[in-house]
Each structure stands twice: as structure tokens, then as C-alpha cells.
Amino acid sequence: MTTADPTAHTPMNPQWKAAKVPAGYTVALVGDIIMSQPIARLLRRESADLLTVLHSADLVVGNFEGSIIDHRTFDGHPAAQSGFGWLTSPPEVADDLVELGFDLLSRANNHSTDWGHQGLASTDDHLNNAGLRLAGTGRNLSAARAPGYHDGERARTSLVSFTTTFEGDTPATDALGLGNGRPGASTLRLTPIAKVSPTQLQALREIRDAQPPASRPDVLLQIDDMLGVVTLFGQHYAAHAPGVDEPVMLDYKVDPDDLAGILLNVRQAKQTSDFTVVASHTHEPDNWTTTTPAFLRNLATQSFEHGADVFVAHGPHQLRGIEILGSHVAFYSLGNFCFMDNAQAVVVREEWERRLWHLAPGRERLHPEKTTPAEFLEWMRVAGVFGEDVWFESVIPVIAYDADGAINHITLHPVELRAHGRDAERGIPRLASPETGADILTRLSALSEPYGTGIDIDHAAGTGTIKGR
């Protein structure tokens, strides 16, 4: 019996696929936004040119990570699981994002439920009340998958947001029978499969089969046979194609039902607006690589087939490549726009007590009675995890369109987020100097070259240009 493809759909009217924007319409995109305090006034004093970039665009889209809560009145609590930290922002940040120029925000990411479903609702309420339009979270799965809309002066735009990286209580679900729906984020479930040589796969199979019967019940062996994999200690393995001699790498199987639901909303978004952005929060394969997983490139192509005009990914906190596909563009990671996780007002007990932080050689455990949250986070994030410049360098692409919806050109404005005299200012964006900007663009150019994307770098100005096709 043949199983129906859940992603199959009626062909989309070609007239709905093209962007309906006036000549010169511009879209500015940024990566992750992690804000511990308002920054608009600081930027007006110290990087007004960055504000000009955002304010000059017709549409500004970003990804907001964390929870906006007022700790003086919030009666919720931190979730048992977080996206590697329990990020919070004060209520004033919502109005600040409007002042910075943002119109649409993606909300589906691994920090959506750091402070539980109460924190998620608080965040969405603050952002909505400030006038921002959101996508990716909601009171149930249908609401989380639904597009967010912005009625701009020159076009009606839409955003669909989902995350492939998330915690156990993050996925939203719809009601069924007597069960209520669950608030949360729009998630796209992945099954990671490590690719090894046929010889290695046979060795892994022998190790699996040698395990005690209680750890390898027959039903799990049957599932392995059905999927064509070997599962050992929770990891799936499969063989490379014959003749392929490659190091171990990860492949991913995308959940077809999740994908179908997301793409259905991409179509709906474009059919009810002039211009559509699809945002994917994707840390895979991990933060430490600039490699774009194959499934993400496939998601971009599928999004374009269903009406998206731009595909933007974020998550790994560093830049990945850019790919032009006809009149569409995919940004596989824009890194960080604002990365202020070293200046959080609250550090929850679990972070202090994580054994990892106090077992580093030559380091004593830090105690909350003797160490401020700022000192702890500075040590943990910068001295420990995020100490390199790559985490504090990004770009703001501004896409300019022709009247037929084709890309005329893309201007890349490099951004750097290093500390400017004070550690508390690490993670706050400024437009990079021409020299630093040229270095950032040179690296991004190398990351984009495998996709056939060329970046013309203006070394005097420190900006880059991608020509439309």
C-alpha cells in the first residue's frame, strides 16, 4: 500500500509566487536578538549609522530569543529545561525594538520556553502590545504555525517561523478529543543519522547486537530494519553510498507531517500578502561549524516553491553562507544582531550548579554569595564558551527589489558586537569599521562561494554587494 506524501499539494498559481512590491522596495534582516536592556538610545549616541540602516528599510525582520518578563510581578518560574540558559529581557525592550525599527519578529527558537508557557505568553503579549507582529509561537500549534502580518506603507508582508532546535516542552500542539491544545512554538522535528562506511556500520551492528537483550528489544531491532539504520545508545547510523570515502557526518530526516504543516502556512502567507519571509531557527549540526546541513538548503528550496521570497536562518551564533536561487535568496545564518547574554539580570540556580562550570582545570566553583550574575556570565560565556570574535561579528543584509519582484541587489552592512570599553557592552551591535567590515565580508564571501554567490567588497566603505540575477 502506498503512503500519501503529506507535503503534496495543489500547484500554486504562479501569479501568487512573485513578490508584489514597488521598485526600490527594501528588506533588512538580522539574526538572533538577545537583549538584556534597551539599546536604542545608546545606538543613537554611538552608532547612529546602524539605526539609519534599519530605519531606511521598508521592512525589518529579526529573531527574538528569550522571555520578556517583569521579575517584580511575574508569578511563573524558570523551566526545567532551557535553550542553554534562561534568557530574560525587561518589558522596556519591547518598545525599544519598535524604536530600533523592527516590524516582524520570529519567535520559534530554543529559548521560546525558557520561563515556561507563562513566560512565552508574557513575551508575546509585550511584543504585540508594542505594535510588533510575531510568528512562530502561540496558544496552540495552529496559532504557532500561522503567519504574522505587517501592513507597511508600500506592501503587506508576512512571516512564517519555525525551529528545528528546541527543548522537550517547547513544541505546541493542537487539541484532540478531550485533550486541550498546548502553547509553545512551531517545531520541525529532525532525526539525526550519522553516516559511516559499510565496514563501520557492520561493526556498530555487532556492538548493538552484543548488548543485553533488555537494551535491544526485538521491536527496536525491527524499527532499525525498517529505517535501514543501526541504533546504538540512542544514535542512529547509516552507511555512505558505495564508493564514498568520507569522514563521519550527520544527515537528517525531516518529519513529513511537520514539514507539510509549515509549508501549508507558507502558501497561505503568500496568498494573503505581497511578500513573504520564512525564518528557520537551526543550530544543527552544531554551533561550532559553518557547514549548512543539506536539509536546510532543501527547506529553502521548498519554501520558495510554496511562495516564500526570502529564507533566513539563525541559531548557530555565527555566519554561514548565502545562496541566490533565481529571484530568491537564502541566508543560512546571520549570526547575532544583539548578543547580550553576558548581562542578564537573573541567573537561575541550575546555571550556578552546573558541574561543567566549576570543573574546568584551574578554576574554582563560582558562588552566588560571592559573585555577581554579571561576573559569572562574563566568565561562563566569554572565558568559557563564546570567547572568540566570530561570535561577535555579523552582517545586516538589505535586499533591494525591482518592480517585478526580482532582486536588484543586496547590500551587506557588517556589524561587530565587541565590548567598547566596558564588558557590560559586549553583545551590543555597532556598524563595523571599514577595516573590520572588510574582514567580516571576506570570511562571508568564502562561506558563500560554494553556493556560487559572489560578494563585491568595497574596502573603503567596508560594505559588500551581491548583484541580483
Nearest to 113 by CA among 169, 58, 57: 169
Residues 114-123, mean pLDDT to the nearest whole number: 97
Tell me the mean pLDDT in the region 116-139: 98
For every residue of 237-274, DSSP letters joined together read EEEPPTT-----EEEEEEPHHHHHHHHHHHHHHHHTSS
- For the chain, what are the domain ranges? 19-177+181-186+256-339+388-467, 190-252
Q: Which of 303, 325, 311 is nearest to 7 (CA)?
A: 303
Considering only residues 377 and 56, tell me which one the structure prediction assigns the higher pLDDT: 56
Crossing angle of helices 294-305 and 256-271, in 10° steps, is 40
With beta carbons less than 8 A apart as the criterion, state whether 112 and 166 touch: yes
State mean pLDDT over 433-448.
Answer: 97
Given a cut of 90, whether residue 368 has pLDDT beyond it is no
Phi, psi of 170 (to 5 degrees): -80, -40
Residue 307 clears pLDDT 90, i.e. is over it: yes
Q: Which helix (H) or strand (E) holds 150?
A: strand 148-151
Q: What pLDDT is attached to residue 1?
A: 43
Closest among 70, 87, 77 to 129, alpha carbons compared: 70
* pLDDT band per the 50, 70, 90 thresholds, residue 377: confident
Task: List beta partners, residue 162.
Answer: 280
* Residue-level pLDDT at 383: 65
Opening angle at CA 300, ends 227 and 276, nearest 5: 135
pLDDT band, very low/low/confident/very high, at 11 (cuts 50, 70, 90): confident
Mean per-residue pLDDT, 110-121: 97
Q: 187: number of CA atoms within 13 Å, CB side? A: 23
For residue 190, pLDDT over 80 is answered with: yes
Residue 319 per-residue DSSP state: B
Per-residue pLDDT, averaged over 392-404, amounts to 95
Residues 6+ apart with CB under 8 A from 414: 393, 394, 395, 431, 432, 436, 437, 438, 440, 441, 462, 463, 464
C-alpha cell at 18: 512573485
Q: For the residues 401-412, what does the mean pLDDT come to? A: 94
Average pLDDT of the chain is 91
**Per-residue pLDDT for 364 more than 50?**
yes
Q: What is the distance between the alpha carbons of residues 130 and 466, in angstroms, rounded to a whole number?
A: 34
Average pLDDT over residues 178-206: 92
Span 287-304, pLDDT tens digits: 889 999 999 999 999 999
Q: What is the pLDDT of residue 469?
A: 65
Q: Can you give the pTM of this predicted structure?
A: 0.92
Higher model confidence: residue 252 or residue 343? 252
Is the pLDDT at 82 greater than 80? The verdict is yes
CA dist 364 and 265 (Å) reads 50
State residue 13's pLDDT score.
79
Pairing verdict, β 148-151 and 156-163: antiparallel
Q: What is the pLDDT of residue 228?
A: 84
Nearest Cα neighbor of 108 from 59, 148, 152 is 148
- Give me the mean pLDDT over the 78-107 stretch: 95
The CATH superfamily of 19-177+181-186+256-339+388-467 is Metallo-dependent phosphatases (3.60.21.10)
Say yes or no to pLDDT of 359 above 70: no
- Whether the per-residue pLDDT at 349 is higher than 50: the answer is yes
pLDDT tens digit sequence for 215-266: 777 788 888 888 789 988 888 999 887 666 556 578 899 999 999 999 999 9
What would the pLDDT profile of 128-179 be if each residue is shown by its tens digit? 999 999 999 999 999 999 999 999 999 999 999 999 999 999 999 999 999 9
Q: Any residues with CB less than 8 A from the CB of 142 and at least 6 apart, and which?
A: 174, 181
Residue 384: the pLDDT is 65
Residue 65 has pLDDT above 90, yes or no: yes
| Pairing state between β 148-151 and 190-196 | unpaired
pLDDT given for residue 363 in this prediction: 59
First to last CA, the chain: 44
Q: Which of 174, 109, 128, 126 is nearest to 313 (CA)?
A: 109
User: Directed axis angle between helix 116-129 and helix 92-100, to 10°?
Assistant: 50
Query: Quick one: which of 113, 259, 104 has its CA closest to 185?
Result: 113
